[in-house]
Structure 1
Amino acid sequence: MDITQTTSVATQAAASSADKSAAAISSDFETFLKMMTAQIENQDPLDPIDSADYAVQLATFSSVEQQVKTNDLLTALGTQMGGVGLTQAAQWVGMEARVAAPVKFSGDPITLSPNPVAAADEVNLIVKNSQGVEVQRQPISVSNETIEWSGVDRSGTPFVEDTYSFYIESKENGQVLATSTVEAYGQVTEARSQNGGTILVLAGGSEVDMASISAVRRVD
Structure 2
Amino acid sequence: MVDAITSPTVTIPAATPSAAGAGGFAGAGAGGDFQTFLTMLTAQLQNQDPLNPMESTDFAIQLATFAGVEQAALSNKFLEQMAGQAGGAGIAGWIGKEGRTTAPVWFGDDAITLDVVPHSLADSVQLVTRDAQGREVTREEIGPGEGQIDWLGRSADDTKLPDGLYSFTLESRRGGEMILESKVGAYARIVEAQFDASGGRVVFEGGASAPAGEVTALRDAG
The size of the alignment, in residue pairs, is 174
Q: Is the 8 A contact 1:82 1:196 kept in 2?
A: no
In 1, distance between residues paired with 2:194 and 2:137?
32
**SS of 2:106 mapped into structure 1:** strand
Q: Which amino acid aligns with 1:160?
A: P
Q: Which has the higher helix share?
A: 1
Residue in structure 1 matched with residue 119 of structure 2 by the alignment: 117
Q: Report whether the alignment pairs 1:83 with 2:83.
A: yes
- Alpha-carbon separation, structure 2, partners of 1:82 and 1:194: 8
- Given that 2:119 and 2:179 are in contact with CA atoms closer than 8 Å, whether structure 1 keeps it comes out as yes
Determine the structure 2 residue equivalent to 1:100.
102
Match of 2:172 among 170, 173, 195: 170
CA contact (8 A) 1:151 1:159 kept: yes
Alignment of 1:36-185 (within 5 A): 36-37=46-47, 76-77=76-77, 79-85=79-85, 88-185=90-187
Gaps of 5+ in 1: 1-13, 40-68
Aligned to 1:11: none
Higher mean displacement: 152-161 or 162-171: 152-161
Question: CA contact under 8 A between 2:123 and 2:143: conserved in structure 1?
Answer: no
29-38 or 189-198, larger mean C-alpha shift: 29-38
Q: Distance in 2 between matches of 1:27 and 1:124?
A: 62
Conserved 8 A contact 1:116-1:144: yes
Higher relative contact order (CA 8 A, sep 6+): 2
The answer on whether the counterparts of 1:79 and 1:196 sit within 8 Å (CA) in structure 2 is: no
Alignment deviations for residues 46-98 of structure 1 (CA, whole Å, 9 cap, x no partner) = xxxxxxxxxxxxxxxxxxxxxxx9xx979844540233328521121121101
**Contact 1:121–1:173 (Cα < 8 Å) also in 2:** yes
Q: Displacement of 1:112 after TM fit?
A: 0.4
CA RMSD of aligned residues (A): 3.3
Structure 2 Cα separation of the partners of residues 213 and 175 of structure 1 = 31
Rate the CA distance shift 1:214–1:156 in 2: closer, same or farther, 3 A. Answer: same
Unaligned segments of structure 2, at least 5 residues: 1-24, 50-68
Mapped contact 2:138–2:156 kept (Cα < 8 A): no
Q: Could you tell me how far apart the structure 1 residues matched to 2:212 and 2:194 are?
A: 10
CA distance in 2, matches of 1:163, 1:85: 28
> What TM-score do the two structures reach when normalised by structure 2?
0.67
SS in 1 for 2:195: strand
**SS of the counterpart of 2:80?**
helix
Structure-2 change in CA distance of 1:35 and 1:106 (3 Å): same
Alpha-carbon distance change, 97 to 30 in structure 1, aligned in 2, over 3 angstroms: closer
Q: Secondary structure at the match of 2:200?
A: strand
TM-superposition CA deviations, 1:181-203 (whole Å, max 9, x none): 10000111211112331111112
Tell me the secondary structure at the aligned position of residue 85 of structure 2: helix
Residue 190 of structure 1 corresponds to which residue in structure 2? 192
Contact 1:113 1:147 in 2 (8 A): yes
Query: Could you say what secondary structure the match of 2:114 adopts?
Result: strand
Percent identity between the two aligned chains = 27
Specify the structure having the higher radius of gyration (Cα). 1
